[in-house]
Amino acid sequence: MAIDFSNTEIAFKSKDNSALRKAYWLFRMVGSPRLVNFGKWAINFSFKLRLPIKWLVKKTIFSQFCGGETIEECSDAIAKLKKSSVGTILDYSLEGKESNEDLDATTNELIQTIERAKTDPFIPFSVFKPSGICKFSVLEKANTSTDHLNESEMKDYGMFVERMNKICKKAHESNVPVFVDAEDSWIQDSIDRMCEVMMWKYNKEKAIVYTTIQLYRWDRLDYLEKLYEKAKRDQIKIGVKLVRGAYMEKERERAKEMGYKDPIQPNKEATDRDYNEALKFCVDRLDVFAICAGSHNEDSANVLVDLMEQKQLDKKDDRLYFAQLLGMSDHISFNLSSYGYNVAKYMPYGPVKEVMPYLIRRAQENTSVSGQTSRELSLLQKERKRRKTTA
């Protein structure tokens, strides 16, 4: 039975009229490429000059896409989602840090998200970006092999292994599954290798460590199948978060500039096909897999719904989750939840200035992804009209 995601009453039940109006105007603004580019420049310029704009950012785009500046500040947003039986994935969204002091601080903060999650069933997962706990240049140089690293880089790589193990060990001890986010293709092999090391160490009884598969890459379905064969052989459980991907333009440009084969699918249809095939592949093999379908695509959500119904799987089976970003695709999240499925929202948090790269990327993504902003706007406008006619 396909779910009708057009029920805006359910989708926006948690928003009062003021919040609904603010969301509508925010999406109107991020729908303009010129405005987004100007806003990026203006905000960065203002922070550089130390102008007092934090309050403005926090009341607008930050409040739409983030839960707060600290875990404690996220409490209200977590409680609001909980009322609709939607879970939270606390996502500490600092980027671009390079000093070992900063990388250690990020690791310690990630440990705190696991501590928070282990006492709350409505925080079903933790998450981190590997580039948040390792120098990007080290991950890049180690992508083909660690043999290329010099003595200093090898020390940095060893610290990355220690940090990643510290996080995954804590997740295992706390029984809190942890997502390892995917990143650029030129560091992804480094990440995949470490994910496999951690899965083979901590996923013997159940999926604790989840790798992330970006299906906008044409080679990922093949990687998923090979991963399954190795796990089946060694009796390991595989946690996998399936996403389409968010770095397409950057990936294509780099491949062209450096003269290697474009790692991205030839078109959206190929991405959609592989994404849905990956869902089917995993659901057919739940003896090994636990899945989180990270998607803002209604059709893919219904593919998983149909697969679960065909196999008569319990909607509350903890091996099967849907996830979307906070502030986006509420029509998918809340309608799925209303039908009893496991749903969680990624909730980015962190100091306003430090989270700006994430927020700018969200705005640019809404501008560049075909139909993303227009869909959000049409649903928000539909609900505003519904409320006026039923008032």
Q: What is the mean pLDDT of residues 238-251?
A: 90
Tell the burial category of 147 from Cβ atoms under 10 Å away from its Cβ (0-12, 13-18, 19+): exposed
Domains of the chain: 70-354 (3.20.20.220)
CA distances from 159 to 165, 287, 375 (A): 10, 34, 44
pLDDT score recorded for residue 366: 56
Q: What is the mean pLDDT of residues 239-266?
A: 92
**Lookup result for tokens 């093949």:** 222
Q: Say if residue 368's pLDDT is above 70.
A: no
Q: Say if residue 58's pLDDT is above 90.
A: no
Each residue's pLDDT tens digit, 267-318:
999 999 999 999 999 999 999 999 999 999 999 999 999 999 999 999 999 9
CA distances from 90 to 93, 112, 259 (A): 9, 10, 38
Mean of the per-residue pLDDT values for the chain? Answer: 90
pLDDT score recorded for residue 315: 97
Task: Decide: pTM greater than 0.85.
Answer: yes
Q: Say if residue 363's pLDDT is above 70.
A: no
Q: Say if residue 65's pLDDT is above 60.
A: yes
Q: Say if residue 52's pLDDT is above 70.
A: no
Q: Say if residue 362's pLDDT is above 90.
A: no
pLDDT score recorded for residue 44: 60
Contacts for 64 with CB less than 8 Å, ≥ 6 apart: 22, 23, 26, 327
Distance (Å, whole) CA 191 – CA 178: 14
Reported confidence tier of residue 39, pLDDT bands at 50, 70, 90: low
Contacts for 242 with CB less than 8 Å, ≥ 6 apart: 212, 213, 215, 275, 278, 279, 282, 291, 292, 293, 294, 295
pLDDT score recorded for residue 49: 54
Cβ atoms of 74 and 325 closer than 8 Å: no
Q: Say if residue 2's pLDDT is above 90.
A: no
* More confident site: 60 or 74: 74
Each residue's pLDDT tens digit, 185-225:
999 999 999 999 999 999 999 999 999 999 999 999 999 99
Each residue's pLDDT tens digit, 321-355:
999 999 999 999 999 999 999 999 999 999 988 88
Q: Say if residue 61's pLDDT is above 90.
A: no
